[in-house]
A and B are shown apart, each in its own frame.
Chain A
Amino acid sequence: MSSTFKESIDEAVHNSNLTGALGRFSEAYRESRAKAYEGVDFEAVRTRIAEIKGGAASHLDELAEEFKKNAESRGAKVFRASNPKQVKDYILKLAKANGVEAIVKSKSMASEEIHLNKHLEAQGIQVSETDLGEWIIQLAGQRPSHMVMPAIHLTREEVAEIFSKEVNERLSSDIPRLVKIARRELRDKFLKAGMGISGANIAVAETGTLVIVTNEGNARLVTTLPKIHVAIVGVEKLVPHISDVVPILTALPRSATGQLLTSYVTMITGPAPNTDGSLKDLHIVLMDSHRTEMAQDGKFQQALQCIRCGSCLNVCPVYRLVGGHVFGKVYMGGIGTILTAWFDALKESDEIQSLCIQCGNCKEVCPGKIDIPDLILELRRRLVKDEGQSLKEKAIFAVVNNRRVFHAMLRSASLLQKPFEKDGFIRHLPLFLSGMADFRSLPAVAEKPFRDVFPLIDQSAVVGQARAAFYAGCLIDFAYPEMGSAVVKVLNKAGIEVIFPEEQTCCGAPARYGGAYEVAAKNATDNINALLKRDVRWVVSACPTCSVALKHEFSATFESLGMHDQLPRAAELAAKVTDFSSLVRSLVDEGRLKLKPGADLGKVSYHDSCHMKRTLGVDHQPRELLQLAGYELAEMKESDMCCGMGGSYSLKMPEISAPILARKLASLEATGAPLAAMDCPGCAMQIRGGLDKQGSPIRVRHTAELIAEMVE
């Protein structure tokens, strides 16, 4: 990672205006979005959008031709441009031919993508953005920090400063007054401009219609007052039918700003009259610029389903901390990283892709149903393939690739660290957990890993009954063996015999998230062999990251590498995998497991781990277990927001991980509960380490440990 990139992150996380504004917004956004979707079946709407836009993406060329034909039959001029230069040349030529001196623009990301303003201004044409946020940014000479709210990083005082310079008058920071100034200044520009440039949110092929969505009303003026209207439309905006606008207009305003509909939606089909009675000179530029290439990539085609609502940014724990500027481009956040990799170059995404912590929030809210985290992983994989791994990572994965060496190193680590240990916490864990981590303490590597503890557990009472294999994962095996013991105890009480296949190894998540898919595949194969060796009814894991790997990612990794012969075994394993809490919850339901009745254990706050909640879809089971055990739930704010761990993320990006953790700790503390429960040893490590660092008395336990104390 370059030092300038690290510096830009550092600058962003220390910009309290930015993080304050984005943080408050993302909290408010959750609620306003939920409210806006009341009574709407979001899953149905986004499934429809994905069908429409996914279908369109596989027929871009036909749709573009159909659109062109229909729009032209209605009197528009349609120009299909394959690259940004053609777009810029076309518009410049048009402006010159008509003696245009001033242009007004309503928001168009496509025009920003190709840096149109710069091009036109270099030729002496005055270009004014008219969306308030865009205008502020333009006057300030900055770049947008959010796709929907471009000036969200600026305070009213800064805006007053910027406007004061523009109008040569000392302005106060009263917001309604500032908005009035913008109205006055821009009104004049609208009336004088010779050309209006807009984008479009949807382009309907069967009618040649453009759909433009705004709140301020600037697009209506841009498309009404100047005699020439140029719409720049990325071909991914094409949809076949007029009825397709319904689901998109249902989702876009709700997801973007929590509105049922924006103040204005304008549908333009061919030229309408100008104020002097002439007909509008309407030009529609359909811009490809790598969209077709993207559509032809089996994996990335789905990224064209994006409707640019920005909700993936609003829910992203990293984005709300760093804002849009660190992405260095017009498109930002996870989807921005993907678009940058295609519209610019794969290499351009090298640094920014590392910002993704893989929490999955974006995937859950995306109205285009895009699996953004998965596409980021795919970028990583391709980058590693093209650019290779860093030497350090190479060395790490070489070790992880070989179970014996890996485990031997972890064992020796427990001896090496001895002198530094303090109350079970040390500052550095070797190897995969090594690195800077000043913001939290790290656990000691256990003196005795779980694999050595396990044979000492007496299971004679349950031998020969239903059998489960326990998959511990590195953290439970080598850092938190007590969690493993708790799992065995609970399952034994339910009459289940637990086996621990010794050859199990790392689940491959670190390698996969690091783009080292071959290593992940080797891990997968080793684990499948180990876990399917003996006949078991369940494969139980108490780490959601491991559960996800076992259940979903082994096959995904094999598929990415074309190792199709491995898929049946991966599926066989996946069918047996269950997370601890889901299994135990059902054992209680079936009456196979009893919890001591009548206990009053006080308050507990439950933290939802990203993989647990969003990939495994498990959230109520552990809560119910805790309540059945006698705890009172004290829910924290944003209980399912990432804790900032993200595996090795917290080591690569401590400057981001630390403030994410700080937010989590504050939410936790606000509940007043003396105890925090969670189902993930990784989250436990992060949160416990943060609390320890702060000297907080709040205890952190795995759900399994708390339940183990209460089984009869």
Chain B
Amino acid sequence: MPTLFESFAARAQAVSAEVHHFSTRAEGLEFVLDLVRSLEGDRLQPSFAIWAACPFLAGLDEAALTERAPGLAFQVTRASAAAASVGISQMDLAIADTGTLVQNATAVEQRLVSTLPSVHIAILATDAIVPDLTAALGRLYAADGPDRLEPQKSEGPPPYLSFITGPSRTADIERVLTIGVHGPERLVIVCVDELGGGQ
């Protein structure tokens, strides 16, 4: 039996997502900074990459990160997202059997970084991978029965819930699969083991 991570990675890669796996947060961070630097090259553009607030950043010195990757910014606005080439955010859950990332994207910054830039780097705690959609909805809405998902009486589902499976795609011209229409043309998933809990 493949592990949840292995199934997830295989499914995600099958739909053209890139999947990277690290055991520590430090390694994951190194990878993200490297990637941003390599994409940036010698272009000098502030807000080349924008990073939406997330648990992964907790305790990290943002200014120090920007020093290491000069295009990196943490201020996410409509304008910065429209101009940025890379968006970075952390996902809440992932679904193994479809290779899907799940995020409560109610905060508009979370949506901006994953829709407008052409590269989306999605950080994921490895233990936030669940087997299937039912399990994902169960985690989000609290299940009270085996086959029945009851919305939490008090709050119900979050206003904006995003499921992302691979990069943006179309086959609308002659059925030729083309990656990157309105959303990102690259989805880079960074799985980190010792991030602890998805939410």
In the assembled complex, the Cα of A220 lies from the Cα of B87 at a distance in Å of 15
Residue from A25, A187, A270 having most chain B Cβ neighbours under 10 A: A270
Q: Are B111 and A179 in contact (CB under 8 A)?
A: no
- Return B9 CB to nearest CB of chain A, in Å: 14
Instruction: Determine if B131 is an interface residue (Cβ-Cβ < 8 Å).
Output: no
Contact of A25 among B99, B158, B170, B175 (CB under 8 A): B175
In the assembled complex, the Cα of A269 lies from the Cα of B105 at a distance in Å of 12
Contact of B174 among A156, A246, A259, A266 (CB under 8 A): A156
Instruction: Determine if B37 is an interface residue (Cβ-Cβ < 8 Å).
Output: no
List chain A residues, Cβ under 8 A from B112: 224, 275
Instruction: Determine if B89 is an interface residue (Cβ-Cβ < 8 Å).
Output: no
Instruction: Determine if B157 is an interface residue (Cβ-Cβ < 8 Å).
Output: yes
In the assembled complex, the Cα of A220 lies from the Cα of B151 at a distance in Å of 23
User: Contacts A176-B178, A186-B182 given: A263-B159 contact, CB under 8 Å?
Assistant: no
Contact of A179 among B108, B134, B158, B178 (CB under 8 A): B178
B92-135 residues at the A interface, CB under 8 angstroms: 95, 97-100, 105-108, 111-112, 115-116, 133-134
User: Contacts A187-B182, A260-B11 given: A243-B165 contact, CB under 8 Å?
Assistant: no
B contact face: mostly helix, strand, loop, or mixed: loop
- Return A487 CB to nearest CB of chain B, in Å: 46
Contact with B along A171-188 (1 / 0, CB 8 A): 000011011101100110
In the assembled complex, the Cα of A257 lies from the Cα of B2 at a distance in Å of 27
Instruction: Determine if A463 is an interface residue (Cβ-Cβ < 8 Å).
Output: no
List chain A residues, Cβ under 8 A from B97: 260
Contact of B172 among A150, A180, A250, A266 (CB under 8 A): A150
Instruction: Determine if A159 is an interface residue (Cβ-Cβ < 8 Å).
Output: yes
List chain B residues, Cβ under 8 A from A261: 95, 98-100, 163, 165
- Count chain A residues whose beta carbon lies closer than 8 angstroms to a beta carbon of B: 69
In the assembled complex, the Cα of A320 lies from the Cα of B153 at a distance in Å of 48
Instruction: Determine if A221 is an interface residue (Cβ-Cβ < 8 Å).
Output: yes
List chain B residues, Cβ under 8 A from A175: 173-174, 176, 178
Q: Are B181 and A218 in contact (CB under 8 A)?
A: yes
Pick out which of these stretches binds chain B: A127-135, A361-369, A545-553, A677-685: A127-135
Q: Are B108 and A273 in contact (CB under 8 A)?
A: yes
Specify the chain A residue showing the minimal Cβ separation from B133.
Answer: A246
- Return B130 CB to nearest CB of chain A, in Å: 13
User: Contacts A260-B97, A263-B183, A266-B161 given: A215-B168 contact, CB under 8 Å?
Assistant: yes
User: Contacts A187-B182, A191-B82, A260-B97 given: A272-B159 contact, CB under 8 Å?
Assistant: yes
Q: Are A132 and B172 in contact (CB under 8 A)?
A: yes
Q: Are B149 and A218 in contact (CB under 8 A)?
A: no
B166-199 residues at the A interface, CB under 8 angstroms: 166-176, 178, 180-184
- Return B116 CB to nearest CB of chain A, in Å: 8
Contact of A272 among B95, B108, B173 (CB under 8 A): B108
Contact of B181 among A151, A217, A267 (CB under 8 A): A217
Q: Are A250 and B149 in contact (CB under 8 A)?
A: no
Residue from A154, A241, A242, A250 having most chain B Cβ neighbours under 10 A: A242
Q: Are B159 and A271 in contact (CB under 8 A)?
A: yes
Specify the chain B residue showing the minimal Cβ separation from A131.
Answer: B172
Contact with B along A145-162 (1 / 0, CB 8 A): 000011110111001000
Instruction: Determine if A595 is an interface residue (Cβ-Cβ < 8 Å).
Output: no
Instruction: Determine if B20 is an interface residue (Cβ-Cβ < 8 Å).
Output: no
In the assembled complex, the Cα of A224 lies from the Cα of B105 at a distance in Å of 10
A contact face: mostly helix, strand, loop, or mixed: mixed
Q: Are B141 and A242 in contact (CB under 8 A)?
A: yes
Specify the chain A residue showing the minimal Cβ separation from B151.
Answer: A207
A253-299 residues at the B interface, CB under 8 angstroms: 257, 259-276
Contact of A182 among B133, B147, B181 (CB under 8 A): B181
User: Contacts A216-B183, A220-B115, A263-B165 given: A273-B106 contact, CB under 8 Å?
Assistant: yes
Instruction: Determine if B156 is an interface residue (Cβ-Cβ < 8 Å).
Output: yes
Contact of B159 among A74, A133, A159, A206 (CB under 8 A): A74
Q: Are A263 and B157 in contact (CB under 8 A)?
A: no
- Return A520 CB to nearest CB of chain B, in Å: 42
User: Contacts A175-B176, A243-B147 given: A273-B165 contact, CB under 8 Å?
Assistant: no
In the assembled complex, the Cα of A155 lies from the Cα of B100 at a distance in Å of 32
Contact of B160 among A187, A260, A268, A276 (CB under 8 A): A268
- Count chain B residues whose beta carbon lies closer than 8 angstroms to a beta carbon of A: 54
Q: Are A268 and B159 in contact (CB under 8 A)?
A: yes
Specify the chain A residue showing the minimal Cβ separation from B168.
Answer: A217
Specify the chain B residue showing the minimal Cβ separation from A266.
Answer: B162
Q: Are A149 and B172 in contact (CB under 8 A)?
A: yes
List chain A residues, Cβ under 8 A from B111: 220, 224, 272
In the assembled complex, the Cα of A223 lies from the Cα of B106 at a distance in Å of 12
User: Contacts A183-B180, A242-B157 given: A132-B170 contact, CB under 8 Å?
Assistant: yes
Instruction: Determine if B137 is an interface residue (Cβ-Cβ < 8 Å).
Output: yes
In the assembled complex, the Cα of A215 lies from the Cα of B165 at a distance in Å of 9
Instruction: Determine if B43 is an interface residue (Cβ-Cβ < 8 Å).
Output: no
Q: Are B159 and A179 in contact (CB under 8 A)?
A: no
Q: Are B183 and A217 in contact (CB under 8 A)?
A: yes
Instruction: Determine if A496 is an interface residue (Cβ-Cβ < 8 Å).
Output: no
In the assembled complex, the Cα of A249 lies from the Cα of B161 at a distance in Å of 15
Contact of A264 among B78, B147, B183 (CB under 8 A): B183
B2-20 residues at the A interface, CB under 8 angstroms: 11, 15
List chain B residues, Cβ under 8 A from A250: 133
Specify the chain B residue showing the minimal Cβ separation from A28.
Answer: B175
Q: Are B181 and A132 in contact (CB under 8 A)?
A: yes
In the assembled complex, the Cα of A179 lies from the Cα of B172 at a distance in Å of 9
Instruction: Determine if B164 is an interface residue (Cβ-Cβ < 8 Å).
Output: yes
In the assembled complex, the Cα of A130 lies from the Cα of B183 at a distance in Å of 12
List chain B residues, Cβ under 8 A from A176: 178
List chain A residues, Cβ under 8 A from B150: 242
Q: Are B180 and A269 in contact (CB under 8 A)?
A: no
Instruction: Determine if B75 is an interface residue (Cβ-Cβ < 8 Å).
Output: no
List chain A residues, Cβ under 8 A from B174: 21, 152, 155-156, 175
Q: Can you spell out 18 A-B residue pairs with CB atoms less than 8 angstroms apart?
A: A132-B172, A151-B172, A156-B174, A176-B178, A187-B182, A217-B181, A217-B182, A220-B111, A220-B182, A224-B111, A241-B149, A242-B141, A263-B166, A263-B183, A264-B183, A266-B162, A268-B161, A272-B106
Q: A241-B149, A242-B149, A267-B163 are in contact. List 13 more A-B contacts (CB 8 A).
A: A25-B175, A149-B172, A154-B173, A191-B82, A207-B151, A209-B157, A215-B171, A216-B182, A220-B162, A220-B182, A263-B168, A264-B183, A269-B159
